[in-house]
């Protein structure tokens, strides 16, 4: 890794002042926890939490060539996207493995915004400007702050501060407006499995928005939430994390993201490879497992069946809301069925596990 100094979000000073434990994450100095991961996890499931996700990258893609450009570089069908709608998607390499996962926002007829993973900003920007150069691209990551407000009380909290009725914003939809007087793109999206919003604002305005949300949410039991709980929350939903569960060695088909691969829309980078894999059938699948023996399966631990190595763990921890040790793992397709008995090799010892239905914890996102 490079020795470059860690980058800071517009909320860095607020995290330090709040006593957060700061850690390096994807080149950024980020809060991993404030009071404790379990406590923060439960705050999001039971009330509402604020996440600083300003480290994530935002690109604008504009002009008459924007749609064609995005169609050629993402796997999902951007033509299906209405103005005001958000779409989950993937950039693939020609061999079908994953450059990054992202969300695409249609801002206007010929204007889009893409949100990408923090650690991939430079790689992704080079990728899109090379493979989709007909559009006008702008990397606005440094000018853009992003706060996720997640939990059963998120709608009430954002609603109290917004200049509009946010209950009208459907899942994977967004509206422009003001929240606490700050110009904001209010997106009904998230990474926790709870109802909530992601609020995009100018970097300079982001601390004011953060403080207003904390103040207004006090009666709701609002708290700031670190990356530690963000990880356990997304794990309980089996949401993939780039670098852990998906990367340049995995395809969206085996990762359970086949629903965002739309070959019928026309050509895109990776299409031929993905069509071939789909026709032949995937050799392995990303599944959810629950430990039967008491042990925690961690990223990189081998998965075995009758002593034979049949897969690998990609994410694993204690799931605070399910109160079990849970994990995500790639296993051979024949062993991916719910109920299949497996063993995870933990420090040289086989620990019993089984394939379970996912998400591990029921999703409470607000679907239209």
Footprint of another protein on this chain (CB under 8 A)?
Answer: 21, 32-33, 36-39, 228, 231-232, 294-296, 298, 317-318, 325, 347
The smaller minimum CB distance to another protein, of residues 268 and 301, is found at 301
Q: Which is nearer to another protein, 96 or 228 (CB)?
A: 228
Task: Return the number of the residue (35 or 164) whose C-beta is nearest another protein.
Answer: 35
Nearer residue to another protein within complex by CB, 130 or 347: 347
In whole angstroms, the minimum distance from the beta carbon of 64 to another protein comes to: 47
Min dist CB 318 to another protein, Å, is 4
d(CA 253, CA 338): 18
Give the Cα separation of 343 and 292 in Å (integer): 9
The candidate with the shortest Cα–Cα distance to 240, out of 258, 223, 226, 225, is: 258
Q: How far is the CB of 317 from another protein (least distance, A)?
A: 6
Which structure tokens are listed for 22?
A: 């700061």
Q: How far is the CB of 32 from another protein (least distance, A)?
A: 7
- With beta carbons less than 8 A apart as the criterion, state whether 34 and 18 touch: yes
Q: How far apart are CA 205 and CA 181, in angstroms?
A: 10
In SS3 terms, 289-327 reads as EEECCCCCCCCCCEEEECCEEEEEEEEEEEECCCCEEEE
By beta-carbon proximity to another protein, the closer residue of 39 and 163 is 39
Contact predicate 116/57, CB 8 Å: yes
The nearest distance, CB 280 to another protein, in angstroms, is 38
Structural contact between residues 299 and 247, judged by C-beta atoms closer than 8 angstroms? no
- Closest contact distance (angstroms) between CB of 331 and another protein is 22
Quickly tell me which residue has 């100094």 as its tokens: 5
Cα–Cα dist 308/304, whole Å: 5
Closer to another protein by Cβ: residue 39 or 247 = 39
């Amino acid at each position: 890794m490079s020795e470059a100094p860690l980058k800071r979000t517009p909320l860095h000073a607020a995290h330090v002042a709040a006593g957060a434990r700061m850690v390096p994450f994807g080149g950024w100095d980020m809060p991993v926890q404030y009071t404790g991961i379990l406590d923060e996890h439960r705050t999001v499931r039971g009330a509402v939490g604020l996440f600083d996700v300003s480290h994530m990258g935002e690109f604008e893609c504009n002009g008459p060539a924007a749609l064609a450009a995005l169609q050629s570089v993402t796997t999902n069908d951007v033509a299906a996207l209405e103005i005001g709608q958000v779409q989950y998607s993937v950039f693939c390499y020609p061999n079908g493995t994953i450059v990054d996962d992202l969300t695409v926002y249609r801002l206007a007829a010929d204007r889009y915004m893409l949100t990408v993973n923090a650690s991939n900003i430079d790689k992704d920007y080079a990728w899109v400007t090379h493979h989709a150069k007909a559009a006008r691209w702008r990397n606005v990551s440094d000018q853009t702050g992003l706060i996720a407000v997640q939990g059963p009380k998120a709608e009430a909290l954002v609603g109290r501060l917004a200049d509009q009725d946010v209950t009208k914003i459907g899942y994977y939809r967004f509206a422009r407006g003001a929240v606490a007087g700050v110009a904001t793109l209010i997106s009904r999206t998230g990474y926790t499995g709870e109802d909530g919003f992601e609020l995009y604002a100018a970097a300079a305005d982001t601390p004011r928005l953060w403080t207003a949300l904390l103040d207004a949410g006090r009666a709701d039991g609002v708290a700031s939430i670190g990356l530690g709980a963000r990880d356990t929350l997304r794990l309980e939903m089996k949401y993939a994390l780039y670098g852990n569960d998906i990367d340049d060695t995995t395809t969206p088909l085996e990762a359970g993201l086949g629903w965002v691969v739309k070959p019928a829309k026309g050509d895109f980078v990776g299409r031929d490879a993905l069509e071939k894999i789909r026709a032949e059938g995937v050799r392995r699948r990303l599944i959810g497992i629950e430990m039967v023996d008491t042990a925690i399966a961690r990223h990189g631990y081998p998965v075995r069946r009758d002593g034979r190595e049949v897969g690998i763990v990609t994410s694993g921890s204690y799931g605070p809301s399910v109160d079990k040790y849970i994990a995500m793992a790639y296993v051979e397709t024949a062993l991916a069925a719910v109920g299949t008995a497996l063993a995870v090799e933990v420090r040289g010892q086989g620990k019993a596990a089984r394939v379970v239905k996912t998400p591990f914890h029921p999703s409470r996102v607000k679907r239209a």
